[in-house]
A and B are shown apart, each in its own frame.
Chain A
Amino acid sequence: MNKKLAEELELTFKDIEVSTPEDTKIEIFAHKAQAITILRFLKDKGYNHLALISCVDWIEKAEFELVYILTPYLQDYEAYKKLGDIHLKIRISRENPETGTVISIFPNAEPYEREIHELFGIKFAGHPRLTHLLLERDYEIPPFRKDFDTREYVEDVFGSIPPIKEEEE
């Protein structure tokens, strides 16, 4: 089943890389414009649970990697073994970090995309509210990027409070 779906994916979509690194996992590398059609295709195939959207900052390659983890809502291991998980990965350049939202397919993507926008600075075109979720203000470099130095930030922000002087008498 796993292999069959992988073949079907390769036939349906052009220029995607499909691999099955584990028995219960299919990994797909795709272009960012294809993400939404692939997700729609997979949802119709029974992968109806978007577990997570994660983001990894590959700073040496100057790219962000968005990972959509899809699993089916199933009830036992026998059924799960046949379908497994899907990791859909898309790469976004660091210079122009923008991609489309997938809320129309998975409504629970909304807070994940909001968080990634806030912590990595990736824009999701069509997202209804890209406002702050966890933080309260903007940072020059979004704080979860690899070039944001937490220690330097702590030093700058909290190290500058003047020490309390003891009064001499």
Chain B
Amino acid sequence: MREVELYFGPQHLGMVGNFSITLKVEGDRILEATSNPGYLHRGFEKLMEYRTWIQNFPLVCRINVVEPDHMEMVYAMAVEKLANIEVPERAHWIRSIYLELARVGSHLFGLWAYSNMLGFDTVAQWAMYHRDLILDLFEELTGGRVYHIYIWPGGVRRDFPDGFANKIVKTLHSIGKCVPDYDDTFFNNPLFYERAHDIGKITQEEAKEWGGVGQVLRATGVPYDIRKVEPYAAYNKVDFKIPTREEGDAYSRIWVIRDELIESVHLIFKLLDNLPEGEVYNRVPNPFKWRVPKGEAYVRVESSRGELGLYMVSNGEDKPYRVHFRTPSYPHGLTILEKVLKGASIADVGNAMISLYVVAPEIDR
């Protein structure tokens, strides 16, 4: 049979985001897949070298459109580590609640993308609606729906407004009430199993070898989570579980996402119950004259997609010398995706890619 080169994306119905894959196919079997990122490359890391430490926040949160909050967190953590800034206890707890809310919103968005791709339009609409409720919470807290710039070096920008904790609980309860509906329509639906099992399957050894993190690794049975490995914010003060599965295919990855979603909601309740009183912000020097001491730092957090790291170098100036983000989609979209698509069918490309939870802006930066 004749070999044909096929361009999959960036304008494609089965594709979410600005990303394309070049496929070499024979019939509908894929012989070779090549990821083509770069459609959203804005050179943020270079631009950050021209802006002061605080001015970089609006760039940082735009690196990942779906969950800008973990990006803020990792940047703030790096600056705090370099400049040796303490964060008040209450700010740690608020950060954790805020980041878990972001995780819930991001997973709902991911669920939208995945169910939409499979043709479960009803579930997709529910997920999008429920994510919107989370965005309403963010709007009340920070003034922005998508980009919040809430976490700053030294703490968070403002305390929770009056009655905000109750609103979080109420919103999460109204989403939680729909979990049986989600389960009946989607997760326990045989159609979902038929479409997703054995798609993009990798073993535990392969996942480790290819740099997998997050759900990709947890779906192969490794409970690797930065919140446990190197705790930050208030994660070492509350107890929570890391959901895992054994199979390592698209089906188990989506199930891990579902379980994590529920675990995150429980975690928010636990954090809200024990939220300490106090200040939420330690003053930092005047941002226009702020010179961060010389040094380098590598910090990491668990974003909703996996290990998100930031390597930052300061040479004692008012701007960073080098900023490099290690985003979880990078190994997933560029290494693992290419490997799992070899031998797959054209119909499964979108399925494999979205189940690997690849977000293109995160790769391009």
Contacts and interface: CB of A to CB of B under 8 A. Distances in A.
A55 B324 CA distance: 9
Interface string B201-243: 0000000111100000100001110001111000010000000
B208 A144 contact: no
Interface residues of B, number: 36
A121 to B, nearest CB: 14
Interface string A143-162: 11000101100000000000
A160 B297 CA distance: 40
Contacts of B38: 132-136
Interface in B260-316: 298, 300, 307, 309, 311, 313
B364 interface: yes
A111 B363 CA distance: 10
B321 A56 contact: yes
B298 A87 contact: yes
B274 to A, nearest CB: 20
B41 interface: yes
B228 A76 contact: yes
B46 A108 contact: no
Contacts of A52: 298, 309, 311, 324, 326
Contact of A48 (B208, B223, B229, B300): B208
Given A52-B311, A77-B236, A111-B334, A143 B43 contact: yes
B335 A111 contact: yes
B330 interface: yes
Contact of A134 (B231, B236, B322, B364): B364
A162 to B, nearest CB: 26
B176 interface: no
Contacts of A24: 230
Interface string A106-124: 1110111000000000000
B331 A108 contact: yes
A44 B313 CA distance: 29
Chain A, interface size: which category? Answer: 35 or more
Nearest to B229: A80
B37 A74 contact: no
A138 to B, nearest CB: 14
B50 interface: yes
Contacts of B313: 56
Contacts of B321: 56
A50 B211 contact: yes
B208 A49 contact: yes
B210 A150 contact: no
B43 A111 contact: no
Nearest to A80: B229
Contacts of A76: 228-229
A85 B226 CA distance: 13
A13 interface: no
Contacts of A69: 298, 309, 311, 326
B208 A77 contact: no
A111 B46 CA distance: 18
Nearest to A25: B298
B47 interface: yes
A73 B231 contact: no
A135 B42 CA distance: 10
A134 B365 CA distance: 9
A51 interface: yes
A54 interface: yes
18 contacts: A48-B208, A49-B211, A51-B298, A51-B307, A51-B326, A52-B309, A67-B311, A74-B224, A75-B222, A107-B209, A108-B211, A108-B335, A112-B330, A134-B38, A135-B41, A143-B43, A148-B46, A151-B50
Given A49-B211, A56-B321, A150-B43, 11 more contacts: A50-B211, A54-B322, A69-B298, A69-B309, A75-B228, A76-B229, A108-B210, A134-B37, A135-B41, A143-B43, A143-B46
Q: Which 7 pairs show the lowest CB-CB distances between chains A and B?
A: A108-B211, A134-B38, A111-B334, A52-B326, A134-B41, A54-B324, A108-B331
